[in-house]
Amino acid sequence: MTDPASPARPLVERLKERLGARRAEARARELRRGLHSTAQHMAYLSLGADPHVWGVLSGGQLSGRRGGNGSFVLEDTLQTLTWPSESTPATASQAHHILAVLPAARAQAELGDHSTVPGIENLVLTLAEHPDLKPHQRRRLLDHLPARSRPIPDSQDSLERGQPPVTLYVDVKGPEEALSYASTPRIRLADIVVADGLQGKGLGTAALTELCMYADRHGLPIEGTLQPGEGKSEETVAAMSRWYARLGFTQRDREPHQWTRGGTIHRAPRAQNLAAQESCRSASRDLFPPLYSVLGAGAGEAPRRGRS
């Protein structure tokens, strides 16, 4: 036993204190890993999400040849934005803020209280508009939002996506381009494909609605082909016909159940739709306060949006 008067006593006490501190740190790391694991599990289960309407709590595991590997959930996208190689201190801080409140928002939504979801949408949109983000990071964040909360794209480049979770290819010819090509101003929808593992959750609807918003703003019709893919059944053709019809597409004045595979579909621009969508987005920004005041996260000031 060490003599209290021994010169070794202070060293022994310091070692014990150091050991105790390291054990405490190790325990804290374990707890953090456990909480992170729980939060990720909640995300992969799409806890709190509407199964058929796309939103910030939606997502899932990607699978199949059209999905690749991995997942598409908001938590994973935000986690990437906290990496030093993928972010600046400002964007990383905002991503951490949202990550901190997501588990509580998911739990509340799963129990039927969706009051914090618009706040999450607002925070994600704020982060997506940060000037430090790269275009592909902004696009990925916006793809987590429901269509009603997305800003209207400002160009063909911001419309198109070439990678999962949803690919969208279009050819836009405005009045000037159409004049050069001696054709009619229009948008040609070449292809839209939702990754395996995310189909049926409303992601494709959100992407196509975003395209329609762009077309409405610029007064452009959209043309495409009803082509569900090789080997697809007539039931699939009928389902696609109903889907396009819900978003305002037509095929030679026929009823959706009369549409034919390979036939041309068309959608005229609708100014009233654009006005209603912009009014909805403006109201959402004014009505919902920063989410931290709702959930009491206590992790510093949440990023705030100016009212539009």
Kindly tell me if the per-residue pLDDT of 66 is higher than 50.
Answer: yes
Q: What is the pLDDT of residue 298?
A: 39
Task: Report pTM.
Answer: 0.75
- Considering 2-11, 104-113, 118-127, 176-185, the range whose residues carry the highest mean pLDDT is 118-127
Alpha helices in the chain (DSSP H): 8-44, 74-80, 89-110, 117-128, 135-142, 156-159, 175-180, 203-218, 234-246, 271-287, 291-295
Report the range of poorest mean pLDDT among 138-142, 218-222, 297-301: 297-301
Q: What is the pLDDT of residue 114?
A: 94
pLDDT (mean) for 29-46: 68
Q: What is the pLDDT of residue 300?
A: 39
Residue-wise pLDDT tens digits, 247-278: 999 998 889 889 999 999 999 998 766 555 55
pLDDT (mean) for 281-294: 48
Beta carbons of 74 and 144 less than 8 angstroms apart:
yes
| Closest of 182, 201, 171, 155 to residue 53, by C-alpha | 201
Separation in Å, CA 242 to CA 138, 202, 210: 31, 14, 18
Kindly tell me if the per-residue pLDDT of 299 is higher than 60.
Answer: no
Q: Per-residue confidence at 38, pLDDT binned at 50, 70, 90?
A: confident
